[in-house]
Structures are given as structure tokens and as C-alpha cells.
């Protein structure tokens, strides 16, 4: 997640919010030279990441899934569903390509994500009358 991820949401803000319940941890990207400020990163080999993610998610009080285009995203969502962990999961869908992500989550995983206009007003939009 980068500072332009949603316009107002940054990883550091999200990490501050979650520090009230525990240490926010995420899986680091391979080859990442300098991780962004925010979540503590744990790095795994290609062979170990799936088992490690499952272990971390099983112990987590809350799982935050930032939807994106990664090879493991489909597998991660399938595991959350299969293991009944959706109740402790927050799914963050970026405004950029929101409709495409929403459609994919609905069609592939039967997850209901609201349309963007129902919960997000662009800061430059005129005020509602």
C-alpha cells in the first residue's frame, strides 16, 4: 500500500489505528529494499509464504486484506473463506479500479462489496444539498 492508495488512507494511518489491538504485521514483498513506514514486515521464502500466512492469520485478532493484483491474492481470499475467517477480516478495495475489483470479488468469490459511490465521496465533489 502506498500513500496514494486511497487519497486519504496511508499505511502509517492504518497501522496507528490497529496498534490499539496489537502489533500490525504484514508479509513483506520479496526484494523490498526499504519497507514503508507502518506495519512490521515479516519476509518468507517462496516455499514458506503460504504456510506462514495461514499461521499468522489463524492467530490474528483481525486480518486486513488490501485487494490488488498479486499472484497470491486469489489463494489468500479462498483461504479466508475456506477457514471461516471472513468475520475477522476487513477487505480494503482501492478506489482506483474499484468496479473491476468489486466485480472480480463478486464473480470469483461471491463477496459483496458496495459500489464506490455508496460509501465514498471524492473531496472535490460538490456538497450534497
State the pLDDT confidence band at 70, using cuts at 50, 70 and 90: confident
Average pLDDT, the chain: 82
d(CA 7, CA 95): 9
pLDDT at residue number 20:
87
Give me the residue spans of the domains in the chain.
Answer: 11-110
When comparing pLDDT for 75 and 70, which is higher? 75
Q: pTM for the whole thing?
A: 0.75
pLDDT at residue number 2:
39
pLDDT of 110 strictly over 80: yes
Label residue 100 left, alpha or beta by phi (over 0 means left) and psi (-120 to 50 means alpha): alpha
When comparing pLDDT for 7 and 69, which is higher? 69
Mean local confidence (pLDDT), 84-108: 90
State the pLDDT confidence band at 63, using cuts at 50, 70 and 90: very high
Parallel, antiparallel, or unpaired for β 25-27 and 89-92?
A: unpaired
pLDDT of 9 strictly over 90: no
Amino acid at each position: 500500500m502506498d500513500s496514494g492508495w486511497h487519497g486519504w488512507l496511508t499505511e502509517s494511518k492504518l497501522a496507528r489505528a490497529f496498534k490499539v489491538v496489537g502489533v500490525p504485521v504484514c508479509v513483506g514483498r520479496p526484494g523490498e529494499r526499504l519497507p514503508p513506514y507502518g506495519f512490521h514486515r515479516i519476509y518468507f521464502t517462496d516455499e514458506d509464504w503460504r504456510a506462514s500466512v495461514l499461521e499468522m492469520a489463524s492467530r490474528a485478532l483481525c486480518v486486513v486484506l488490501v485487494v490488488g493484483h498479486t499472484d497470491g491474492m486469489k489463494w489468500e481470499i479462498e483461504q479466508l473463506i475456506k477457514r471461516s475467517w471472513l468475520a475477522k477480516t476487513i477487505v480494503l478495495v482501492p478506489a482506483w479500479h474499484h468496479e473491476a475489483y468489486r466485480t472480480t470479488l463478486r464473480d470469483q468469490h461471491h463477496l459483496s462489496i458496495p459500489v464506490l459511490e455508496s460509501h465514498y465521496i471524492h473531496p472535490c465533489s460538490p456538497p450534497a444539498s
